[in-house]
Amino acid sequence: MPVRTLAHLSDLHLDLTPESDAAARALVGALQASGVDHVVVTGDLTHQGMSVEYRRFRELFAPLLDAGRLTFIPGNHDRPGDDAGSRWMEGQKVRVVEKPGLYLVCVDSTGPHNRNYFASHGELTYAELDAVDAALAAAPRKTLAAVLVHHHVLPLPEESFPERLATLLGWPHAAELPVGPEWVTRLQGRCDVVLHGHRHVPGERVLEPEGARPLRIYNAGSSTDLGRFRVFRHKAGRLLGEPAWCRAMLSERPRTAGHNVLPALQYLVGQIGMALF
């Protein structure tokens, strides 16, 4: 069996600015140069859920999409505006994508509440967890089983003032999926890796590293802001070593963290407004 590679991106937030386009174009160039076998993007492809933003994503990532080398799922930013992300899972909350050596269980953790730009938290039901169980039970032997989900499954530190404020006030917006910790327990021993996004600082966690089948959980962070992504090597259903970071070479002016300032302010004003009124 050959060694294959899988790249993980997330939170592109394509907003039709030159900086956004340049960052995405650099990522595509690096992905093509690396010769990676398959690419996954775990949500927030667009910034405001607009159809024009989604069309721009398809234009920029066409070399990978046309070759059948890219799989993506929606995030909360893909649901406001035109609700572009609602059409990406073919009406399903859980669906399977199979590629050579790879078994991807795609999970939509967004909900109708994400039509509100300020309601960013995720949501999954126990029926949907059962659907993931059933999908994993059908995974072929010697195939890497990966669960793709946008929202984080285990607690993570707050990364911004609005997130810290939301947690202080008891709002769910910065919290992990309510069923996340229980879901992780159900996934252990049945899945190799969980890939997610939502939070813009990358992270990783390995559960039962000495066990027969450790569960690895990776947050990609915001690939456009970071200008880099992880590449996993796998063979016969097992990850090989640690993932390597691949950096995109940006020839144009880099995108800065400043593009998140306005949404953060909007978020804060909106939450205060809801609390008061």
User: Which spans in the chain are helix H?
Assistant: 18-34, 51-60, 62-66, 126-137, 161-168, 180-187, 223-226, 261-276
Q: DSSP 3-state helix, strand, coil percentages of the chain (rounded to 5)?
A: 35, 20, 45
pLDDT 10s digits, 62-120 = 999 999 999 999 999 999 999 999 999 998 999 999 999 999 999 999 999 999 988 99
Give the CA diameter of the chain: 61
Looking at domain 4-276, what is its CATH homologous superfamily?
Answer: Metallo-dependent phosphatases (3.60.21.10)
> pLDDT-derived band of residue 251, with 50, 70 and 90 as boundaries?
low
pLDDT beyond 90 at 269? no
**pLDDT value, residue 257:** 41
Mean pLDDT of the residues in the chain: 91
Question: How far from 18 is each of 87, 160, 252, 264, CA to CA, in Å?
Answer: 26, 25, 9, 21
Measured at the alpha carbon of residue 97, what is the angle toward residues 91 and 103, in degrees to the nearest 5? 140
Task: Answer yes or no: are the C-beta atoms of 247 and 227 closer than 8 Å.
Answer: yes
Task: Answer yes or no: are the C-beta atoms of 143 and 101 closer than 8 Å.
Answer: yes
**pLDDT value, residue 118:** 87
Question: How far from 91 is each of 60, 85, 241, 268, CA to CA, in Å?
Answer: 25, 10, 36, 32
Residue 150 C-beta-side C-alpha neighbours within 13 Å: 28
**Whole-structure pTM value:** 0.91
Determine the 3-state secondary structure of 49 from DSSP.
Answer: coil
CA distance 271 to 267: 6
Domain locations along the chain:
4-276
CA distance 75 to 114: 9
Mean pLDDT of 36-49: 98
**pLDDT value, residue 249:** 86
Residue keyed to tokens 């907003």: 15
